[in-house]
């Protein structure tokens, strides 16, 4: 440890630790509250890239880890659903370089469509899970995660929550690691090719690894014991541990850092020394259920506290068994589409045409709020296209003709392309219309680049996907691009015309997000200047 003292968010602490631990590649897809990890890692000089979605990010990360490089893959909680397919089988493989998968959960849904508890994934996939309580632990557990990952050749999930990601607390960093090994290919077919013949022994190996890690966790894992009266014993994880410490400073408390596989012997010994054993955990009763299944007389929280975040006041109520209604926090001002936002005119048209709108996730989801109220469904990224097609398949014709799927540019690349394939392959009798609201950025999460912008995470130029060329190549019958100069009226006429045809159609509305536009102009100018420097006439002459 150095004498340096920093005030860092949990996200920034993970990025700094990744840099110090010698991570060779950080991959991920933006999503609050995880986004800043890769952005900071890039700013600190690390190599970071956005993938089109979380599944691809994890697959790239598996490749780098197989090749012996320390790797960080970041996403928000729902991103792990997208990456779940590689996740479960990655658990069976032996990796070389340490692989940490950050799952940034959002209890309380500050900026998410659900508050799923990704601790279930650790149990379900049998992957070690570390849960820091603050930025110092976010830093330390990133290091520890690589150590566990490399020792047992297993991916490790670092589960953060919104309050850990976005709270700033003090961090004493260790400083940079000595050299990390150079990546090199080593053939290891039985532990990397998951055909049944190899996967069957691999599953046994995985369970063996988990048993060993559990024993290590009990013997020397990251567990903190706060002494206190034996009248009340608290077992806590994550940010809930600091709330608990503040709510009940007199209690004896065991805070568990590696929450899967659990250090059961330690917890059992702790339980035996206290009169009342209470589990303080945010979200689902994951820890509670495990302790009870092990026969420990643990108390959990009343069901009402499963919803939303915990805080000091709620932990006090849990400890007091208080189930009286909680004071309702006063409603603040809801967010709205910025003045001048390019999404506004599109939703005005959809409203005027009385469309049935299968929506998607992004800034444009705010089209559901007044004055537009022009969105009828929103489930997960990419769902707009499938949901719209499904409605078209079964609704009476007059209603089916009003169905439109609306999707943002980043969301389209993330998981809309397969929806477009479905539209071409299984077209409804009335046809269908997909609108891509291309504002040149991933606005919702703070303006990240994606494969449709033609710029990398650090905003330098790269290859660019053309949505219209893609749709044409896929066989969509009508493909149109409407630019900023076009008037609302012409967009309305175009959409009305396409809705009347029993054909498949895609309209790309292209106008930059007003908040991102100045930066986009700046990046484009910088790229143009660089291009003219590298292609000076003297060079191109030969």
Partner 1 sequence: MTKVKNVVIAGLGGQGVLKASDILADAAFRAGFDVKKSELHGMSQRGGSVSSDVRFGDRVLSPMVPPGEADVLLVLEETQIEINRPTLKPGGVLIGPDVLNAAALKNKKSLNVALLGAVSTVLDIPEEQWLAAMYANLAEKLHTINEQAFALGRSAAIERKAADQ
Ligand X SMILES: Cc1ncc(C[n+]2csc(CCOP(=O)(O)OP(=O)(O)O)c2C)c(N)n1
Contacts with ligand X, residue ranges (CB under 6 A): 29-31, 54, 76, 78-79, 82, 113, 361-364, 381, 408-411, 439, 441-445, 513
Binding flag, residue 199, partner 1 (CB under 8 A)? no
User: By C-beta, is 133 or 383 nearer to ligand X?
Assistant: 383
CB of 286 to partner 1, least distance (A): 21
Residue 514 binds which entry of partner 1, ligand X, ligand SF4, none, CB below 5-8 Å type-dependent: ligand SF4
> Min. distance of Cβ 309 from partner 1 in angstroms?
8
C-beta closer to ligand SF4: residue 223 or 515: 515
Please name which of 110, 118, 160 lies closest in space to residue 139, comparing C-alpha atoms. 160
**Pairing of β 504-510 and β 432-438:** parallel
Nearer residue to ligand SF4 within complex by CB, 341 or 355: 341
CB of 243 to partner 1, least distance (A): 5
Q: If binding is defined by CB under 8 A, does position 215 make contact with partner 1? A: no
Closest CB to partner 1 among residues 95, 242: 242
Task: Report cis status (omega within 30 of 0) of the bond before 205.
Answer: no
Query: 28 phi and psi, to 5 degrees?
Result: 170, -175
For partner 1, which residue of 199, 215, 264, 338 counts as binding (CB under 8 A)? 338
Reduce the DSSP state of residue 353 to 3 states and report it. Answer: coil
Of 338 and 379, which has the nearer Cβ to partner 1? 338
Contacting partner 1 within 485-504 (CB under 8 A):
none
Question: Beta-carbon neighbour count of residue 469 at 10 Å?
Answer: 10
Looking up tokens 């108390």, which residue turns up? Answer: 299
Q: Which residues bind ligand SF4 (CB under 6 A)?
A: 337-338, 341, 343, 363, 439, 443, 513-515
Comparing CB distances to ligand X, the nearer of 16 and 90 is 90
Q: Which does 361 bind (CB under 5 to 8 A by kind): partner 1, ligand SF4, ligand X, none?
A: ligand X
- Is the sign of the CA dihedral 535, 537, 539, 542 positive or negative? positive
CA distances from residue 49 to 310, 415, 525 in whole angstroms, order as listed = 33, 18, 22
- For residue 204, give Cα distances in angstroms to 89, 129, 254, 535: 13, 19, 31, 57
Min dist. Cβ of residue 480 to ligand X (A): 19
Give CA angle at 168 (166, 173), nearest 5°: 115
Q: Binders of partner 1 among 52-91, rule CB under 8 A?
A: none
Supply 373's token pair.
Answer: 């109220």
In 3D space, the residue among 64, 63, 72, 77 whose CA is nearest the CA of residue 32 turns out to be 77
Tell the residue number behind the tokens 């705010």, with chain if given: 366
**What is the Cα–Cα distance from 31 to 525, expressed in whole angstroms?**
28
Work out what residue 170 binds among ligand X, ligand SF4, partner 1, none; the CB cut-off runs from 5 to 8 Å by kind: partner 1
Mutual orientation of helices 343-352 and 488-500 as an angle, nearest 10°?
A: 50
To the nearest whole angstrom, how small is the minimum distance from the Cβ of residue 58 to ligand X? 12
Q: What is the CA radius of gyration of the chain?
A: 25
Tell me whether residue 75 or residue 240 sits nearer to ligand X (CB atom): 75
Site string for partner 1, 122-141 (x = CB under 8 A): ------------x-------
Angle, CA of 516, 517 and 523, to the nearest 5°: 90
Comparing CB distances to ligand SF4, the nearer of 24 and 343 is 343
Residue 72: strand pairing partners? 26, 100
Work out the number of other CB atoms within 10 angstroms of the CB of residue 325: 6
Q: Is 33 in the site for partner 1 (CB under 8 A)?
A: yes
> Which among ligand X, partner 1, ligand SF4, none contacts residue 162 (Cβ within 5 to 8 A by kind)?
partner 1
β-pairing, 251-256 vs 223-226, is antiparallel
Residue among 194 and 514 whose Cβ is closer to ligand SF4: 514
* Contact residues for partner 1, defined by CB under 8 A: 7, 32-33, 110-111, 134, 162-163, 166-170, 239, 242-243, 245-246, 311-313, 327, 329-338, 363, 366, 446, 515
């Amino acid at each position: 440890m150095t004498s340096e003292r920093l005030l860092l968010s949990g996200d920034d602490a993970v990025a700094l630790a990744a840099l110090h631990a010698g991570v060779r590649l950080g991959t991920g897809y933006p999503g609050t509250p995880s986004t800043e990890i890769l952005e900071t890692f890039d700013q600190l000089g690390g190599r970071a890239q956005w993938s089109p979605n979380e599944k691809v990010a994890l697959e790239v990360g598996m490749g780098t880890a197989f090749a012996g490089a320390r790797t960080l893959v970041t996403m928000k909680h729902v991103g792990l659903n997208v990456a779940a397919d590689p996740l479960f089988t990655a658990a069976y493989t032996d990796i070389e370089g340490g692989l940490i998968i950050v799952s940034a959960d959002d209890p309380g849904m500050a900026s998410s469509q659900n508050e799923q508890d990704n601790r279930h994934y650790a149990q379900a996939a049998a992957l070690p899970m570390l849960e820091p309580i603050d930025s110092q632990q976010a830093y330390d557990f990133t290091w520890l995660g690589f150590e566990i990952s490399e020792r047992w050749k297993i991916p490790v999930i670092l589960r953060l929550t919104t309050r850990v990601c976005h709270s700033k607390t003090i961090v004493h960093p260790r400083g940079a690691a000595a050299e990390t090994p150079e990546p090199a290919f080593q053939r290891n077919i039985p532990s990397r090719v998951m055909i049944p013949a190899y996967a069957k022994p691999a599953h046994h190996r995985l369970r063996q690894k988990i048993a060993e890690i559990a024993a290590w966790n009990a013997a020397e894992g990251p567990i903190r014991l706060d002494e206190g009266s034996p009248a009340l014993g608290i077992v806590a994880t994550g940010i809930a541990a600091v709330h608990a410490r503040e709510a009940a400073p007199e209690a004896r408390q065991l805070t568990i850092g590696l929450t899967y596989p659990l250090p059961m012997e330690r917890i059992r010994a702790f339980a035996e020394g206290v009169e009342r054993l209470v589990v303080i955990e945010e979200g689902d009763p994951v820890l509670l259920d495990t302790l009870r299944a092990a026969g420990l007389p643990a108390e959990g929280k009343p069901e009402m506290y499963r919803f939303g975040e915990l805080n000091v006041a709620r932990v006090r109520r849990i400890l007091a068994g208080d189930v009286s209604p909680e004071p309702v926090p006063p409603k603040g001002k809801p967010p709205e589409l910025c003045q001048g936002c390019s999404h506004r005119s599109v939703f005005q048209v959809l409203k005027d045409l009385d469309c049935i709108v299968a929506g998607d996730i992004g800034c444009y989801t705010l089209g559901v709020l007044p004055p537009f109220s022009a969105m009828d469904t929103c489930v997960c990224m990419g769902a707009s296209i499938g949901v719209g097609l499904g409605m078209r398949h079964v609704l009476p014709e007059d209603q089916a003709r009003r169905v439109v799927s609306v999707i943002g540019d980043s969301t389209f690349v993330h998981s809309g392309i397969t929806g477009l394939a479905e539209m071409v392959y299984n077209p409804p009798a009335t046809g269908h219309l997909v609108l891509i609201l291309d504002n040149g950025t991933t606005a919702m999460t703070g303006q990240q680049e994606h494969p449709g912008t033609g710029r990398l995470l650090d905003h330098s130029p790269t290859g660019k996907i053309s949505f219209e060329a893609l749709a044409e190549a896929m066989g969509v019958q009508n493909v149109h691009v409407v630019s900023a100069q076009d008037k609302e009226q012409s967009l309305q006429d175009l959409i009305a015309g396409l809705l009347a045809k029993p054909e498949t159609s895609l309209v790309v509305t292209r106008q930059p997000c007003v908040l991102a536009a100045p930066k986009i102009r700046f990046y484009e100018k910088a790229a143009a200047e660089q291009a003219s420097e590298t292609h000076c006439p003297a060079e191109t002459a030969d």
